[in-house]
Amino acid sequence: MGHAARLTLPPLRAIARPNQSEAPMRVLDHARIAELPNPYFGKVRDCYDLPATATEPARRILISSDRISAFDRILAAIPFKGQVLTQTARFWFDHTADLCANHVISYPDPNVVIGKRLTILPVEVVVRGYLAGTTSTSILTQYRRGARAMYGHVLPEGLRDNQVLPAAIITPTSKAFDGGHDEPLTAAEIVELGLLTKAQWDEVSAKALALFARGQRMAAERGLILVDTKYEFGTDDSGAILLADEIHTPDSSRYWLASGYEAALRDGSRPPSFDKDVIRSWVAARCDPYVDPIPKIPAEMIAATSQVYISAYEKITGEPFVPDLTGATPLDRIRANLAGYFSA
């Protein structure tokens, strides 16, 4: 599925961990497995490409680590985060397959999905339903700076922070396959630059809005607001467009608790959330995260963030989170479950 951003991971000891004396630690800092072929490492996922065989098409192994990233950087490792992401995406893939086919073939481990090898389309499709966000490309950041025309849309005057938009909009960005920053695009630019054909963009945008509408409806039924999200699409060998990577997870999406939204909107505070804005906001308040060294994140914040991810899974899916504690470590368990794919 295209090219994940290659990067040099920090030494494992440099990734922040909670206090191991307080609870058994089950942190998957990485999933670097020498016996698997064609590796590359993203900010959160460690991936391996399986070549086509006489009986199997080309596939990709995607292993969700517990790393948490923001501002194009790795911030920490959060216990059980990888399992939460994989299983939350599994829930949504199962509940949206009628709207858009996806890459999933199988789940050999709670942190692992094996998917069809796709050619990732070079556009990241971000759908937003609210004037929200903390990053430099978010519509709230730009709106505060006085911009009203952005991503090919013109927003009305007088919107408050975190207010619902008149209608959901797509704010596409370029895919920074080399690990650089994603750049804002308009629909016209996507076609003019030859990133997608008009037919491809029309299909992708229609599917993205349909997926977002389904996500918002199902989230509302569980007392949540799906604020914004990003989708990645790719093409298979036939040219068919499939949904790739993940869908509506706490990493790819922003969720707010509906019960606290109106009060937050009235007093101008940040609505209670289920996403990584907690750590992201803490870091942004202490440095310029795009330039400065990241300060050490307190252990209690990492432990609390782990619980946020677990609570998010349970609230989104309506199912209890059952951590997989088999194996001496998560990496040992994953190695055992993927042993059948090891190179001879």
Residue range(s) in the chain whose domain bears CATH number 3.30.200.20:
12-119+283-341
More confident residue, 149 or 15: 149
CB neighbours of residue 161 within 10 Å:
17
Residue range(s) in the chain whose domain bears CATH number 3.30.470.20:
123-277
Task: Please write the tens of the pLDDT for every residue from 294-344.
Answer: 999 999 899 888 998 999 999 999 999 999 999 999 999 999 999 999 974
More confident residue, 235 or 19: 235
Predicted TM-score (pTM) of the model is 0.87
Cβ proximity of 243 and 103 under 8 Å = yes
Tokens in use for 76?
Answer: 């920490």
Residue length of the chain: 344
Tokens in use for 297?
Answer: 């994140």
Q: Specify the residue for token string 């948490």.
A: 68
* 123-277 CATH fold: D-amino Acid Aminotransferase; Chain A, domain 1 (3.30.470)
Q: What's the rounded mean pLDDT across residues 75-93?
A: 96
Q: Give the least confident one: 6-20, 210-224, 230-244.
A: 6-20
pLDDT of 254 > 50? The answer is yes
- Beta-bridged to residue 119, according to DSSP, are 235
**Whether domain 12-119+283-341 has CATH 3.40.50.10800:** no
pLDDT of 48 > 50? The answer is yes
Contacts of 306 (CB under 8 A, 6+ apart): 18, 78, 79, 80, 81
Q: Give the least confident one: 98-102, 177-181, 257-261, 273-277.
A: 177-181
Please give the Cα distance from 211 to 204 (Å, whole number): 10
Residue 14 pLDDT grade (very low, low, confident, very high; cuts 50, 70, 90): very low
Q: What's the rounded mean pLDDT across residues 178-198?
A: 87
Q: What's the rounded mean pLDDT across residues 117-123?
A: 97
Phi, psi angle pair for 319, to nearest 5°: -120, 150
pLDDT of 180 > 60? The answer is no
